[in-house]
Amino acid sequence: MRVLAVLYALCFLVNETQAWGIRNGIFHNSIWLEQAAGVYHRESRKGRYQLTYKEAKAVCKFEGGTLANYKQLEAARQIGLHVCAAGWLERGRVGYPIVKAGANCGFGKIGIVDYGYRGNKSERWDVYCYNPNTKECGGVLTDPKRIIQSPGFPEEYQDEQICYWHIRVRFGQRIQLHFLEFDVEDDTACLADYLEVYDSYDDISGFAGRFCSDNLPEDIISTGNVMTLKFLSDASVTAGGFQLQYIAFNSSLFSQNDTSYFY
């Protein structure tokens, strides 16, 4: 539970064994960034608590940001950033922001849980970056209807991107994804760059498809009220990216032939 960024407003809690798991011999998780006041949490592509101080700085810099400082993290916390994972801050401090006290996270405390300035910069934690002009790359989406775009769209996306969008709509609703534009580097197995869709709150279960090329995927409809989208680009060749819309609908209202929601 400690490792999950929990959207406080939703009180969305999942159990750790469901959110983390081994698939194809690789430890998978759902990286997501929650952002407030330009501050967001990041972890290594390898998983939680894998970044040395130097690597943490590089992660933020890679995206055009810097390590967040304590004040910035606190400002973000005050508008709702609640992340249950300790990360590097400026000058080698480590901490995490807690909005809502919980038994599993933050020792029941509200505020910044502060591990202080670490003497050993080889310790491995996550990181908090500060980037007021942060790229649109992932997040937890709770609106009933939204457009999702690859970072930088309609300009080409960049290499080495990994973005997770977690869509969560009201319980009892379902989600329809409707692709508007799609242009992702093409290879036969979509190994290089791809968008994956999961009919689930993580990227472990509910695989619904992996997409690349410039063929517009068909609409995808969830079975429940959550969906996860994962976009990954490798170190070479980019393309125009994608744009899609999701819309929540009341399960009972849905009929397979009804696409009128979009028009």
Nearer to ligand NAG by Cβ, of 93 and 230: the residue is 93
- By CB under 6 A, tell whether 260 contacts ligand NAG: no
What is the smallest separation between the CB atom of 48 and ligand NAG, expressed in angstroms? 14
Region 107-136 residues binding ligand NAG, contact defined as CB under 6 A? 120, 122-123
CB neighbourhood size of 236 (10 A): 10
- By CB under 6 A, tell whether 17 contacts ligand NAG: no
Nearer to ligand NAG by Cβ, of 13 and 253: the residue is 253
Enter the tokens of residue 105: 């996270």
Q: Which residues of 111-127 are buried (b: 16+ CB within 10 A; e: fewer)?
A: ebbebeebeeeebebbb
What is the smallest separation between the CB atom of 52 and ligand NAG, expressed in angstroms? 8
Nearer to ligand NAG by Cβ, of 122 and 256: the residue is 122
Q: How far apart are CA 66 and CA 150, in angstroms?
A: 22
Kindly state the number of chain residues that form the binding site for ligand NAG, as judged by CB under 6 A: 5
What is the smallest separation between the CB atom of 242 and ligand NAG, expressed in angstroms? 27
What is the smallest separation between the CB atom of 124 and ligand NAG, expressed in angstroms? 6
CB neighbourhood size of 38 (10 A): 16
- By CB under 6 A, tell whether 250 contacts ligand NAG: yes
CB neighbourhood size of 139 (10 A): 19
Nearer to ligand NAG by Cβ, of 242 and 246: the residue is 246
Cβ within 8 Å of residue 203, ≥6 positions away: 28, 29, 30, 164, 196, 228, 230
What is the smallest separation between the CB atom of 157 and ligand NAG, expressed in angstroms? 34
The residues of the shown chain that bind ligand NAG, judged by CB under 6 A, are 120, 122-123, 250, 253
